[in-house]
Amino acid sequence: MPHSPDLMRDLVATTATDLGPDAPTLCPPWTVRDLLAHLVARESRPDTLPGIGLPVPPLQRHTDKVQEQIAARPFAELVDQVRSGPPAWWPTRIPALDRAVNVAELAVHHEDLVRAQPGWEPTPLPDPVPSQLWGTVRTAGRMLYRSAPCGVVAVAPSHGRAALHRPGQGQGSVVITGTPLELLLHAFGRDQVARVEVTGEEEDVAALAAHRRGA
């Protein structure tokens, strides 16, 4: 079976090449070049990881500085680094850890490239990526919706159904239906581009739409 993170790295690299370095992304003010620099930093510069994961200004400033330095490299070099993956000493060279950490990250950021462009269409993902994304929805979704103002149930036809957040007293639940990729995008706060169906009482649907989350 193909190694799914490598399939996604190749897809990100190919799409970035097609779009070019200055195309917009769903992570403004980042361009395609900036997003690739972020991916390179998180897989080669351990000193940047605290600034990616923690809202601490000095750490974030250091991460931003390193990413700016990486972004200044030739674009083709950035593309090649993303495609080839991390150096041999990086922990995610272990295949199981690579799948756990990177498949969803790469899938979301690939759509950050694609869905910032006019006339975009959802990306058909190669097997076994959709099943692995569904696994991420079922696990990470519980964290991402942990402060949701209503119950949240995810449904991916042909994959399954998962309760991601139990409703509090007096709250109802909404059901979010879509492919694993679309559900993942919704869970990661890309509501405006996630092609999902959200059903439930009107006030619960509106409350979830106002719920801020992201990663």
Residue 2 pLDDT:
67
Compute the C-alpha angle 101/73/93, nearest 5°: 25
Residue 1 pLDDT:
58
pTM (2 decimals)?
Answer: 0.94
Tokens, residue 200 = 């439930």
pLDDT averages per 10-residue partition of the chain, 215 residues: 87 98 97 98 93 89 96 98 93 91 96 97 93 96 95 97 94 97 97 96 95 77
What is the chain's Cα-based Rg? 18
Please state the domain extents for the chain. Answer: 4-114, 137-209
**Secondary structure of the chain in the HEC alphabet?**
CCCHHHHHHHHHHHHHHHHCCCCECCCCCCEHHHHHHHHHHHCCCHHHHHHHHCCCHHHHHHHHHHHHHHHCCCHHHHHHHHHHCCCCCCHHHCHHHHHHHHHHHHHHHHHHHHCCCCCCCCCCCCCCHHHHHHHHHHHHHHHHCCCCCCEEEEEECCCEEEEEECCCCCCCEEEEECCHHHHHHHHCCCCCCCCCEEECCHHHHHHHHCCCCCC
For residues 73 and 68, give the distance between their C-alpha atoms in angstroms, rounded to a whole number. 9
Residue 53 pLDDT:
82
How would you classify residue 73: left for phi > 0, otherwise alpha for psi between -120 and 50, otherwise beta?
Answer: beta
Residue 215 pLDDT:
58
**Secondary structure of 160-190 in the HEC alphabet?**
EEEEEECCCCCCCEEEEECCHHHHHHHHCCC
Strand partners, 14: none
